Each structure stands twice: as structure tokens, then as C-alpha cells.
Structure 1
Amino acid sequence: MLKNIVFTVLLIFVTAENTLAQEKILERANQKYNEYSFSPAIDIYKKVLDKGFVSADLLKKLGNSYYFNADYKEASLIYERLLKEYEGEISPDYFFRYAQTLRSLNQYVEADKLMRKFSEMTSGDVRANSFQTKRDYRTEIKENSGRYTLGNFDYNSVYSEFAPSYTNNGLLFASDRDTGNLAKYRHTWNSKDFLDVYEVKVENASKNTVVKLDKNINTKLHESTTATTKDGATLYFTRNNVVDGKTVKDQEGITRLKIFRAKLEEGIFTEIEELPFNSDTYSVAHPTLSPDEKTLFFVSDMPGSYGESDIFKVAINIDGTFGPPENLGNTINTEARETFPFVTSEEILYFSSDGHPGLGGLDVFATRIKNKSYTGIVKNVGEPINSNLDDFTFIFNEETRTGYFASNRENGLGYDDIYSFVENIPLKLACQQIVTGTVRDKISNQVLVGATVKIIDENNVELLKTLTDANGDYNLMMDCNVGNFVRALTDGYVPAEVYMGASDGQPQIIDFYLERDVVTAGFGDDLAKLLQLSTIYFDLNKYNIRVDAEVEIQKVIAAMDKYPSLKLKVNSHTDSRGKDAYNLWLSQKRAESTVAYMVSKGIAKERLQSEGFGETQLVNQCGNNSRCSANEHELNRRSEFIILE
């Protein structure tokens, strides 16, 4: 018994010691994870997992480490286990990331099942909305595919090359090919070397050379994505947060990214400065310029971001200062990663994302941003630019229809490779949408002929207009890539408008019901005419309200409900047939009958008066002894609604 007790105590001690050891190992792994040092974190998490220690947190971080290192096959296995064992303890994001990994493995049916589950778990999520509105996204991608011919980039190596950008003298790109300081400077995110910026210089028609930018740009840490002004005098580039040659970490121990600006003088980069909207607490990276070089686009996870990284813009002032950063909005940005923007001369924004529906990993997308509108349709550019892995840093020359992008797809020379391409068929981003409808009086429901209907953009600039026809109908063609207002207006009515956001181009019907501007109505006016009512008729020798008259009187009641201070006098008339005294009595009964009907429908009796005029106010020449038709006599059997107050 004593032996068993001793053995039990020792077992408890050893188990406790092993648990403490695993906790220390996990603490070290979590530190690496929080520093974005995903490769070392993977090694540590795997060792802990192999020893049988497992938790939802461990699987989350191991899966994310694979995911952000683009090892989607391993990430899918970990996410699969996470969902099976800990489904009740995970956020919807893990369903999304698992779906992304399956897309990368060409398992689209299973990926779509997960996206449906993800959509059910979220509300207002841009990724879910994109999936729900583009369920047949693979068909759309297929329609956009086959438009490019890919080629090689002669300067790839067995290392990583990506982030091509145009200069006035050739091409810049980022690479970790320099292994001279391998041991000291290896970056632990993916166990690759730190990145530097290189330039392909065009020396003559047959020879190009690759040179590393000078030490004022390249340091012992990361320098990568770049943007150069057309004259080559100004360079924007991404670098780790470095001050006086030393890295600066935030409170979580993470070295953030910043954008710097440099001036080129006599072949040397000088006056290197970081941009004022950088921060030690979030990253700012991947600059690109607008065609007029008055706007800088970049990527950040700063406060106000929708997801893991968003695309922002900032105005570049004439004196070189900057305006406040502006998020491009949730048509472009999602709760996932939007990154590596590029704007063409025709103001097409290309960017990479794993939040919009794609083939897996990061895909390249395009949207038109002309007139500073960021609500247009976002389209996947299709294969062969996009693959089931990461495709990014897309740039395009619209004059030559050529460009470059990077990918970590299989069969490449290195970890990331740059590919050249030729665009054979342009991506169809123009989107025309038919908008039709009818303009009516809100109370009488009568069509308004000759009313003006306009298309007005978000800057209140009138784009086009038309008039309603004899049926009150209009027909307009508008750009559905951007948001616009459809506005209807005509004299005597309050204008009305409807906002039309970017759409898929399906025809839209927008009917307008305009409210009368009652300021134009005054004492003695006939409300029936103002409301364009049909004439209220009575049958011969009758004073009961006809069915067709009831419809018109309801419109008058609606007007009195809308304007509580409105008071009316009902004037009723007869035709000339019959004795004058009888007709006077009959018209008075018709006026009283009309008032009684309105009172029965809730109008206060004090707001109404009535008077019969018999045959004393005929509207035609159908007096006594005239030879008028029944229809002509009917025109005189009517009621009017005269405004008293």
C-alpha cells in the first residue's frame, strides 16, 4: 500500500511538472505568435500537440500560423479538427478561414457549405453579404477568366520576389535573395530573410541589370512595396518601424510597418521621412499613387478598419503635406484582408483580398473608382492571374495592356515569384442599368405628364435627365458601378429622390408619388383641380355616392388627413333636365350626401360645408331645351371641393 501511495504521489508530481513544462513551452509559442513570428510558433505548437496537449486556443493559433504563412493544406487540417472538437468555442471567422483553405485545395462544394454556415452566424458581415449575393461566384470568375497570357519574369530566384512597381527607368521589386546576413537577419514570420528593394534598370534594348537600392533605403530589416512619382524624384516605400537603426515594438511586442518617403538627388535617395499618419500601434504599408499623383492609397489596420487590413487613401497637398486618412468603405473592404492596391491611368483600382469570393488565398480584384466613387462592383479578375493560392501585387499599364503580379502558386522558381502578363481581353467593368417608372400625384394617384426625372451623382452633379411621357412614364440608363440619386420634380410639387447604390445591373423600377406644394393653393381654389381628380358624377335623379365617385372622394379625404387645417366647401351641380326647383333640391342633397360620406370616414363635420347650385352653373351649352347627348349632360352632374381655409 505504501508503495502504491508513493507511486501515486510521484505520478502526480511528474504530471504537474510536465504540465508546467508544457505551459512554459506554450507561453514561448504564444510570444512568437504575438510577434507575428509564425514559423517558430508552428514548431512549438506542433510539439505540444504531438505530446497530447490540446485546447481550442492552441488549435486556433496553430491554424492561423499556417493560414497566414499560406500553408493552406496544413491549416485546413487544423481548422477541421478545431471545428469538430470545439465548435461551440470558436468565432465565425474560423468557419470563414476554413472555407478559404478548402478553396485553396479546390474543395469548393465543402467550402460553400462552410460559407453558408458562416453567413448564418453573422449579420452585416461584408464577406457573408458578398457570398449571399454572389452564390454563383465561380461562374462569374469563369466568365472573367482566360483574358490574360502569362509570361516569365527573368529576375526571379529561388528566394522570394514580389511587389513589382513601375519607375521612369524600369521596375522595382522586393526580394529576400540577399543571404549574406542569413543567420543574423533572418525574419521569423516565415523563416525567410529580410526583404530589400531591387531595381531592374533598362540599360539598352538587349540588356537589363538588377541592382539593390542604396543603403539609405535598404536596412537590416524589411523594405518592400514601393511607389514612384512619374518624374522619378519621389519614392514611397514600406519599412519596419525603425528609429536610429533600432526596431520599435508596440505594447504587444510587435514591430509594425510604416510608409516612408524619399527624394532622389543625383542618383542618391535623401531626405527620408516617415509619413505623419504612421503609428507605433498599427501598421501602415503598401503605398500606390493615383494617376494625378494627388492621392496616396495604402493599407492599414488602424482604428476605423473593417477587417484585418483595409485600403485607405490620403490627399497629398501641394506643399507636400497630407490630409487625414480615409477608409475606402465596406464595398471594397471586408472583415478579412484587403491589401496591395494599384490604380491604373483609367482609375481602375486593383487589389488583393481573401474577403471577397475567390479561388482561395489572396485573389486579385478590380473596381472602377472614377469620380472618387468607391461603391462600384468589385470583380474577381479570374484565371490565370488568380489561382488557388496567394496572388497579389498586381500592376498594369493600360497603354501597353501589359503588367506584372506575384504569386506563391505551385511550380514557381521560388517561394514567391513575379509573373508578367498581357491582357488580351479587357475586364468588363462598365455596367449600364435601365431605370424605369411612373411619376404620380401622391394623393390623387394621377400620372404627372412632363415631370422631370434626373440622375444625380453623389457629388450632386446632374448626369442626365428626361421628361415623363403621356402616361407619366420615364426611362433612363445609368451607370450601375457607382451610387447615384434618381430625382423626380415638377412645378407645384415637392421633389422626391431615391438613392441607387452599385448593383449587378438588373433593371430597376422606381415609381415616384409626389406631394403637392400646398402653398400654391389658396382660398376659393378647387381642390379637385389641384389634385387632378376625375370629376365626381351622379346618376340621373340620384344623389347617392357612386363607386367611381367614392374612389375620388377618398383622395380628398386623404388630403384632409394630411393637412389638418384644411377646410372645404362641397358644391354640387345638376344638369338642366327637370324643373329648376327640383334640380336645386337635388344638388343640395348631392352636396349633403358627399359631406355625410366624408364625415362617415372620419372627417370632422366642422371642416366641411355644402351647397347645391342646381343647374345654375353649367359647364357647357346644355341648358333647357338643348339637344345634348347623355354624355354631355353628365358633365354637369358634378361636385367641387372649394378651399375655404
Structure 2
Amino acid sequence: MRTISRYISLVCAGMFALSAIAQNGKIKSVEDDYRDFAYVKTSEVLLEVANKGYKSADLFQKLANSFYFRNDMENAAKWYGELFTMNEVIDPEYYFRYALALKGIENYDESDKWMKKFNELKPDDMRGKAFLSKVDYRANIEELSRDDIEVHNLEINTELSDFGTTEYEDGIVFASARGGGRKYRWNEEPYLDLYSVEKTENGFGEVKEIQGKVNTKYHESSAVFSPNGRYMFFTRNNFFKLKYKEDGTGVNRLQLYRATLSEDGTWDEIHKVHFNSEDYSVAHPTLNLTGSRLYFASDMPGTYGQSDIFVVDVNDDGTLGQPENLGSSINTEGQESFPFIDTSGNLFFSSTGFPGLGGLDVFKSEELDQKVASGSNRNFPIENVGKPVNSPADDFGYYENLVTRRVYFSSNREGGKGSDDIYTFEVPECEQLVFGTVQDSKTDELIPNAIVVLFDGKGNEIERKTVGEDAVFEFELDCEMEYLVRGEKETFISDEKRFTTPKKKQELQLQLLLDKDVQEINACDDLAKILDIPIIYFDFDKSNIRYDAEIELQKVLAVLNKYPTMTIDIRSHTDCRGPADYNERLSEKRAKSTRQYLIDNGIAEERLTAKGYGESQLVNDCGCDTAGASGCSEDEHQLNRRSEFIITSINGQSCED
């Protein structure tokens, strides 16, 4: 982005002290150009000086900045690298710029190193904190990226700067430097004006300058229209009623203006908004669905960084209330700009302060406008919108029509026609499919005729299906929604899976694994295995029933009560560690303690027998008199510390039969 779109951040650059270098008068000769953001000329002169072998921190700072603010990140990274070879005390902001420049050439690993150094020098800076909170930001961005979208460079783009799109009536309005006339010293392109173009069946018609008194000989950009079409808010240099004004440092700031639609279709009656100032910039407006709130970017007092996103109420007559900063969830010490509120109240904005792919990245905060309206706390979660909108270059000016699914955004990425270009795409219909099988959790056998029910995230049933012999189910779903899928079958315990669909096409495969709720019980079966009872734990060297063991014994108690003819033999085992006679006595006490618990809870004593076997019936090779015992893990020894509840008889069937 090489025009008005980065002007706010450039104000800060223009404030740097320009110390003299005695041996090089050429550096002083470009100070005026540097202060006026004429970076094309500055970089040429400074590059000539540096190529002659002159070295100084001041020289490398100016040279690197000249490339950085022109978004030539390859040369910016080169000269910031030279700056850090000078072994001088350097403002931490240069660490951040170097990291961002390295991102611009996709050297992410090296960029991350310098971001960590930046955080060490400024641990309270929100940009460093945001980086440390998502050190895996690249993987996160990849997850949020879409490979089913193909962006198109608009046919109306020129070799100059075109950016900042909004839909209006049957076309779009955007800013462009195509008008000719006097040139802006910073990039040697003509000043920006606002243009409109109608959509046609084959693309776009003729590009026309917007009619009325909006455009001047200075910059205009970033228009937004009220829902009733009566007002237009837009950005312009501080130039009003033919008066061009600068702040105390000689910088002409950006201001926000409102135009009114005349009966003849032209935009006239230009008014400044009341919080414009000669001392700070106000720019890039966007309105919510009802036109009751306007969001914009500014570096006014109270700003966290180079520019922040603010919100202000809009009165019925088009006048504005008092601006309010959106806070540190959205704004950082970096640059936040180009806000856009879609018709669902989601905020999109561009930022250099949060982890991204390089330059300005586009971020999203869902339902922010509703949260602002409710006066809730200012904790607005954000996420990077990913590729293909974001790239290593500057990506900004996001606009989306949720009805037509048409998106416009601006970028100075490689492959464009000019310095900034407008790109577009149509969001593909989001096709989501969840499918899978219903199976037995123990045997993996298919469970035909099971019922699979689809619920929304709030538990409301959406659809149900009965699976066939292949036990397969599938549902078509919406994007970015929470769902729950539950499998059910008589004599089985249900299984369910909860998930949230992404915003891009996906096929999700699930296994619904059902546990048998009714199992056949025969003599000689072990209730511990049937009821999935783990070890009955006792405190070390004790035989009294612990609370966690009592919970498991309640399962045995329930089965004994349900089957009054059932008798069981309680068998307690230990591992090999400790004297064998001690283990046998301890296990005997534990078996009898278990039996007594069941008797105390109403089971006739003649239905229960109990015996301790100590270490005499190990289930593996972890006997202490074997060579392999010393290599056994704790888990392997634990397999031997078990309790068994063997059914000795049931319904006239005996284990001895």
C-alpha cells in the first residue's frame, strides 16, 4: 500500500529526528523530502550514499525506513539488517519493523526471532504479547485459510493505485490515482480521487469520477453510504473551503467529511465532522447495518499505537456523537485501520500489530457491533481471516456482501497491475458433510438398524436416520455451526460426538462406538470384566474399603440384587512384591472385607464366598522369582493386583456344570 492508505502510520515516521552526518551532505539534502514522505527520492539518494561505503546508524535507519514505508520489504529487510550490525543502542521499534520486513519476504523463522527480541525489550507492548500468545500463528492461519477460493484482479485496476471498495446502488465506489494532475511527492503518483463504476453482465462499465464537490486536488478515499442513501462519509486531506492546513510539524492530516446527496444526483454540502483536528488524522469510515454507528481509524489522543479503530454514534440528522476507542482487544501499538462492519455486525479490519503473514493482515471480530450496542465488556476476540485474502504484502479494505457472497479487498501483493489493486472473489457455497458408521465399541462389529440423531449446538433435534445393514450414516450441514451427532440402539448405551464445522468445505468422518447395555451372564463369568470394574483399591497395608472401591462394589451389589439366584466367589490377588505369605494374608483380609461389605448392604452371606490368593495366580511374567520381573513396569505389576467376582451359579446353572 503506497498511498493515503498508510498515511496515518507515516505521521509517526515523519517525526524522527534527523541528525546530521558531517561527512555526507547529501543526507541533509533529502531531509525535507524525508519529512514530507517523498520516499522515492529519499531512497535513491540514501542508497547512493550507502553504496559508496558510508555507514552509520542514522543512514541505515533512514534508508531502511524509506523502503519500509514504500513496502519494498526486501530492501527494507536488507538495510535494517545492516542497521543491527552497528552495535549501537537502537529503538525497539526497529526490531518490530525488521521482523515485519522479514515477514514481507516470507522469512518467517528469522522474523519470529526478532519478534522475540522485541518482546524482551518491550515486554508490555501488546504486539509482542500477541505474538507470544500465538507462537504457532502460522499453523493457525493455515487452518483458517481456504484453498477453494480463487481471487481475481479487477479489470478496472490501473498501473497506479486503486483501493478501498464499497458497493453503492448498482456498482462500486473506490479510490484511485488515475485522474492525472499534480503528483504526491511520496510515491510520485497523482493524488487520489473517488470513482464509481456500474456492474454489467460481463463485469464493469465505464469508470467515472464521482459527481459533486467531493474530489479536490488533494487526496480523497474510503467512502461509505448511509442506509437511506442520503449521506456519504469519506476521507480527505485537511483541505476545506480551499484552505490547506498543516499541524505544528508541517504535516497535513487526514480528516473525515460528510456529503449530502442532491436532487440532481451529485454529492454536495460538504461538512467536516466535529472531532476532526489539525493535530491528528481521522480516516476510513464504515457504518453498521442501521447506520446508527460509524467506525473509523484515527491517531487522536487516547490511541494505543500508530492508529486505532474508534466507534461513534450517528444521529438522525447525520451528525456524530463522541468517539470511543474500541480498546486493547482490537488496538495495539501498531497500526489498526480500514474497519468494515458487515450486515451481521462482524468487524473486519487490517492490522500490523497482531501475528500475520506480513504487512497489514485482515482480521475479524464476530458480532462486535452487537457487543458495542449492549455495552458489554470490551473483550473482542479476533482471528486472522487467512489466505487468500492475506499475503506477505499489505492486505486491507475488506468489504463483503453477505447476500451475494461477493468480497472485495485491496492489496499491493506481487502480480498486481499497480501499486495497490482491488481484488474480488465470490465466497463458495459452504458444503459440509459428516458421515460415519455405528459400531460396537468392544468388537468393532457394525450395528445395523441403529438410529443416528443430528442436533444443533443447543440440543435441538434437526434430523434422524436409521442406518442400514452397512451401519452408515451421513448428514449435510452448514458452515461455522456447532452440532452433536448421537447413535442409539436398544440394548446399547448411546455414543455422541460434538463438533463445530469450519468455514470452508469439509467432509468429517466419525465413528459412533456403542457399549452394550445388556450382556449375557453365565456361570463362571467374572463380573469385574462384565461391569468393567478396575482394581478395587485399598490403602497401603490396609484391608478396609475405600470410597473409590465402594463405588465399584455398588455395581456388583446392583447385579446381585437384580439376580437373586446368583452366587459369587470373591477372589483377591496381589503382585509378587513383598513376602509371599504376607501377600496371601493381606489378600485374604481384603477378600473377606469385600464380602463383608456386600453382606452389610443386604446380600445373604450364603451367596458369597471369598478367598485371597496372594501372588499365586499371576496373569503375566512379572513373578518376582523370574528373570523378567525386574524389567516389569508399574502398569504390568498392577495387572496382577486385581479383584475377581466369579459367578459360581445362576438360575440353576453351576460353574462346575
> Normalising TM by the smaller chain, what interval?
0.5 to 0.7
Residue in structure 2 matched with residue 63 of structure 1 by the alignment: 64
Residue in structure 2 matched with residue 258 of structure 1 by the alignment: 255
Residue in structure 2 matched with residue 95 of structure 1 by the alignment: 95
SS at match of 1:364: strand
CA distance in 1, matches of 2:321, 2:96: 35
Residue in structure 2 matched with residue 249 of structure 1 by the alignment: 246
User: Which residue, 319, 325, 343 being the options, matches 1:327?
Assistant: 325
CA distance in 1, matches of 2:405, 2:21: 61
CA distance in 1, matches of 2:203, 2:121: 58
- CA contact 2:163–2:422 (8 Å) conserved in 1: yes
**Counterparts in 2 of 1:170-189, with a 5 A limit?**
170-179=171-180, 181=181, 185-189=182-186
| 1:221-253: CA deviation from partner (whole Å, max 9, x where unpaired) | 111111111232211111111133242222211
- CA contact 1:35–1:252 (8 Å) conserved in 2: no
Residue in structure 2 matched with residue 383 of structure 1 by the alignment: 387
Residue in structure 1 matched with residue 275 of structure 2 by the alignment: 277
Residue in structure 1 matched with residue 312 of structure 2 by the alignment: 314
CA distance in 1, matches of 2:295, 2:171: 22
- CA contact 1:250–1:256 (8 Å) conserved in 2: yes
Residue in structure 2 matched with residue 409 of structure 1 by the alignment: 413
Residue in structure 2 matched with residue 518 of structure 1 by the alignment: none
SS at match of 1:197: strand
Residue in structure 1 matched with residue 129 of structure 2 by the alignment: 129
How far apart are residue 321 of structure 1 and its match?
A: 2.7
The one-letter code of the counterpart of 2:197 is: V
How far apart are residue 43 of structure 1 and its match?
A: 2.4
Matched, 1:226 2:223: yes
How far apart are residue 142 of structure 1 and its match?
A: 0.2
SS at match of 1:59: helix
Residue in structure 1 matched with residue 402 of structure 2 by the alignment: 398
Residue in structure 1 matched with residue 351 of structure 2 by the alignment: 353
CA distance in 1, matches of 2:71, 2:347: 24
Which piece of structure 1 moves more, 130-139 or 250-259? Answer: 250-259
| 1:188-239: CA deviation from partner (whole Å, max 9, x where unpaired) | 1222211111101247787633211135111111111111112322111111
- CA contact 1:348–1:367 (8 Å) conserved in 2: yes
Q: CA RMSD in A?
A: 2.3
CA distance in 2, matches of 1:227, 1:98: 35
CA distance in 2, matches of 1:201, 1:401: 18
Residue in structure 1 matched with residue 24 of structure 2 by the alignment: 22
Residue in structure 1 matched with residue 232 of structure 2 by the alignment: 235
Residue in structure 2 matched with residue 492 of structure 1 by the alignment: none
Matched, 1:144 2:144: yes
- CA contact 1:203–1:209 (8 Å) conserved in 2: no
The one-letter code of the counterpart of 1:121 is: L
**Counterparts in 2 of 1:436-455, with a 5 A limit?**
none
- CA contact 1:300–1:309 (8 Å) conserved in 2: yes
- CA contact 2:246–2:278 (8 Å) conserved in 1: yes
- CA contact 1:144–1:427 (8 Å) conserved in 2: no
CA distance in 1, matches of 2:23, 2:63: 19
Identity across matched positions, percent: 41
The one-letter code of the counterpart of 1:337 is: Q
The one-letter code of the counterpart of 1:66 is: F
User: Which residue, 340, 346, 349 being the options, matches 1:342?
Assistant: 340
SS at match of 2:76: helix
| 1:537-563: CA deviation from partner (whole Å, max 9, x where unpaired) | xxxxxxxxxxxxxxxxxxxxxxxxxxx
Q: 1:155 to 1:83 in 2, by over 3 A?
A: same
The one-letter code of the counterpart of 1:151 is: H
The one-letter code of the counterpart of 2:411 is: S
**Counterparts in 2 of 1:535-546, with a 5 A limit?**
none
The one-letter code of the counterpart of 1:102 is: L
Which piece of structure 1 moves more, 393-402 or 213-222? Answer: 213-222
SS at match of 1:216: coil
SS at match of 2:112: helix
How far apart are residue 101 of structure 1 and its match?
A: 1.0
SS at match of 2:310: strand
- CA contact 1:407–1:418 (8 Å) conserved in 2: yes
| 1:9-49: CA deviation from partner (whole Å, max 9, x where unpaired) | xxxxxxxxx976834x3334222222222222222322333
Matched, 1:217 2:214: yes
User: Which residue, 185, 189, 192 being the options, matches 2:189?
Assistant: 192
CA distance in 1, matches of 2:254, 2:228: 26
User: Which residue, 288, 291, 314 being the options, matches 2:289?
Assistant: 291
Which piece of structure 1 moves more, 200-209 or 93-102? Answer: 200-209
How far apart are residue 93 of structure 1 and its match?
A: 1.3
| 1:609-635: CA deviation from partner (whole Å, max 9, x where unpaired) | xxxxxxxxxxxxxxxxxxxxxxxxxxx
SS at match of 1:249: coil
CA distance in 2, matches of 1:255, 1:118: 31
How far apart are residue 80 of structure 1 and its match?
A: 0.4
- CA contact 2:165–2:408 (8 Å) conserved in 1: yes
CA distance in 1, matches of 2:392, 2:201: 38
How far apart are residue 119 of structure 1 and its match?
A: 1.3
| 1:528-586: CA deviation from partner (whole Å, max 9, x where unpaired) | xxxxxxxxxxxxxxxxxxxxxxxxxxxxxxxxxxxxxxxxxxxxxxxxxxxxxxxxxxx
- CA contact 1:56–1:89 (8 Å) conserved in 2: no
Residue in structure 2 matched with residue 588 of structure 1 by the alignment: none
- CA contact 1:168–1:231 (8 Å) conserved in 2: no
**Counterparts in 2 of 1:481-492, with a 5 A limit?**
none
Length, aligned pairs only: 406
Residue in structure 1 matched with residue 109 of structure 2 by the alignment: 109
SS at match of 1:85: coil
- CA contact 1:315–1:324 (8 Å) conserved in 2: yes
CA distance in 1, matches of 2:199, 2:111: 45
The one-letter code of the counterpart of 1:421 is: F
- CA contact 2:293–2:312 (8 Å) conserved in 1: yes
- CA contact 2:153–2:416 (8 Å) conserved in 1: no
CA distance in 1, matches of 2:239, 2:167: 26
CA distance in 1, matches of 2:90, 2:429: 44
- CA contact 1:171–1:199 (8 Å) conserved in 2: yes
The one-letter code of the counterpart of 1:331 is: S
SS at match of 1:236: strand
SS at match of 2:128: helix
Gap regions ≥5 residues in structure 2: 1-19, 433-657
- CA contact 1:201–1:211 (8 Å) conserved in 2: no
SS at match of 2:42: helix
User: Which residue, 335, 349, 361 being the options, matches 1:363?
Assistant: 361
| 1:349-388: CA deviation from partner (whole Å, max 9, x where unpaired) | 1011111101111111111203215422211111111111
Q: 1:206 to 1:57 in 2, by over 3 A?
A: closer
How far apart are residue 57 of structure 1 and its match?
A: 2.4
Residue in structure 1 matched with residue 301 of structure 2 by the alignment: 303
CA distance in 1, matches of 2:347, 2:430: 14
| 1:84-132: CA deviation from partner (whole Å, max 9, x where unpaired) | 214x421221111111111111111111111111111112211111111
CA distance in 2, matches of 1:68, 1:303: 23
SS at match of 1:410: coil
The one-letter code of the counterpart of 1:191 is: E
